Chains A and B, each alone.
Chain A
Amino acid sequence: MSLSIALMTMDHRQNHLESLRAGLSLLVYPIQMAVELPDTVSGWFRESLASRRQLQEENAGLRTQLLMLKAQRQKLEALEIENIRLRELLDSSFEVGEKILVAELLSVNLDPYKHQIVINKGDLDRIYPGQPLLDADGVMGQVVHVGPYTSTAVLITDTSHAIPVQVNRNGLRTIALGSGTINRLELPYLPNNSDIRAGDLLITSGLGGRFPQGYPVARVTAIQQDPGKTFAQVVATPMAKLDRSREVLLVWPGDFDITVPAATPTANQQAGADIQIVPEDAAGTDEASE
């Protein structure tokens, strides 16, 4: 009894038990694999029993999609370089390139009252706690526990999670809190007169140093301005398919410089803002984003 209370306290206060949890997660790995097995087998059957025509159609579809994405990417590269050049003129630093790894969700259900997922990459793939997690449409969450082969990530909608965001339209910065409902984020810190509308896209602001800048997070769905209250009640829907995605992307922010030479140390001040941008090597530091 007292042992478990001690254990819970230590786990809640973090730090000490990470390695124990990582070691013990090896113990439950076979169970997770067993649960995953039917899914793996059915996936294998689906792939190996698919007809030739189906595969050809899929192939053609993917080819078209790839072509379109490539065309878009060409433009993006030009824009990226232009952006960097302009920022250099303003004497501010901006990191664009990131290293990305694709991971897959394990189909295990966790505690239904916590929004967590298990992914099939772990310490051996150099995953670290606090690492941002994306899917094809936006930010999903961040890694919290890392085991040798698997890691647990908390989604942005978990009640204990908060993510610094900005409105894409005008750069308005705020924080999006998880609500405990899978399709709902709350923005409780916006004053009543702030410039935000339904339909606004929220992107990561990069402040806090945990999430890289510029990834879509959510779209504002409803705003309620009560004149009697100081803050507006803003609700947003996550862009990422939090409860449907199978493939997720793990990002190493700013690990991997593609273009710009390193900015001078004095150039960390963002033009026009009095907030210090966290230096590029913040990937490993423990800057709180919650």
Chain B
Amino acid sequence: MMDIIKNINWSPLFVSLKTGAAATIIAFFLGIFAARLVMRAGKKTKWILDGILTLPLVLPPTVAGFFLLLLFGLRRPFGSMLYEKFDIKIVQTWPGCVIAACVIALPLMYRNTRAAFEQVDVNMIYAARTLGMSERKIFWKIIVPIASPGIASGTVLAFARAMGEYGATSMLAGNILGKTQTIAVAIASQAAAGNYDVAGFWVVVIVLVSFTIVAALNIVSGSTSKNIRRWE
């Protein structure tokens, strides 16, 4: 066991954490934005937007990976344009990891945030308006704090999902040690190569990390909601 730990290349842990963090930050703002966008949209648009935003949650991640390859593939119009004009390569790179993880994690952020926003008593918003607050201030000072338990749990779930992403990531970003190999990808490839001890080690690591996340989830949603009485 000590041998394994001594010889282990820790990069998958850091790639995973980095990917998770970056994808969560992007999903956080995108999710809040998307939640507002969908809430404001007309009935039909709402239905379509909600469908698109939720699809990655219900489809196999490989389907998302497939669509991402269609978009960013170097032989595809958009991907080749990015590469030739801006020298940006998504396929087989770390940004690819982040994009894949973000697409998969976004629905969790979006849905939790939207549900939390829809719970906000509209009279709070009206009262804030009549008290002279600007819409921006109302959003950040009134609505977001009231919705914070939902937003926090959305964020933590999004982080957990982003960290554990395998399907879309392996298709778009591949399996490059030190660059795009996340823990999830490492487990699959080590197990495929018969290295059950290394795969097992990563399994232990991811179980510990996930458990920490669940604990964090309970702490944040518990602490932020202490000022709002809820069903127990």
B partners with A: no
Interface residue ranges, A against B (CB under 8 Å)? none
